[in-house]
Amino acid sequence: MKPTKYSIINNATIGRNARIYDQVNLYGCEIGKNTKIDSYVYIEEGVKIGDNCKIRPFVFIPTGVVIEDNVFIAPNVTFTNDKHPRAQGEWTRLDTRVKQFASIGAGTTINPGVRIGKNALIGSGSVVTKNIPDNAIAIGVPAKVVGYRPPPLQQNGHKIPSKRIRR
């Protein structure tokens, strides 16, 4: 078995039982307990990833992103943090938050400054340009809400009361 190769720079904090695979770069970020970070993931300084998350291969997460507990991010998802990036000079960071239990499909781009709601589902290949509400299903370029899904059955081992979701 060959040794694992990854970079942990600037004191990244990694929670208990988190799994970090080959070719991952972590720059001064926080990774929660029981979170799995697959190969070829790049996470910049100041990023916070909660407990029990799964980040699949080839994901880029820049400074200013917060990912809450129990979030799934499929392969090739790209988060951005500046609407007008340039190679040199001033830039304006816009923070992004992904709420607990959200799922983001493969190949999705998350534009800066958006909030993806609790238990939201983003379809593969979407471009998220605006906030997505809790429990929403959003797809397309740009991503639009096409429906709603029921809340998760359990949260932290406790049953969540069922509520009717308006469509």
Active site residues: 84
Place of tokens 């609407």: 83
Report residue 91 as tokens.
């830039």
Which value, to the nearest 10 degrees, does the dihedral of the CA atoms of residues 27, 30, 31, 32 take?
180
- What one-letter code names the amino acid at 49? I
- CA-nearest of 126, 62, 138, 131 to 93 is 62
Give the other-Cβ count within 10 Å of 133's Cβ.
Answer: 15
- CA-nearest of 81, 77, 28, 82 to 54 is 77
Contact 116, 102 (CB under 8 A): yes
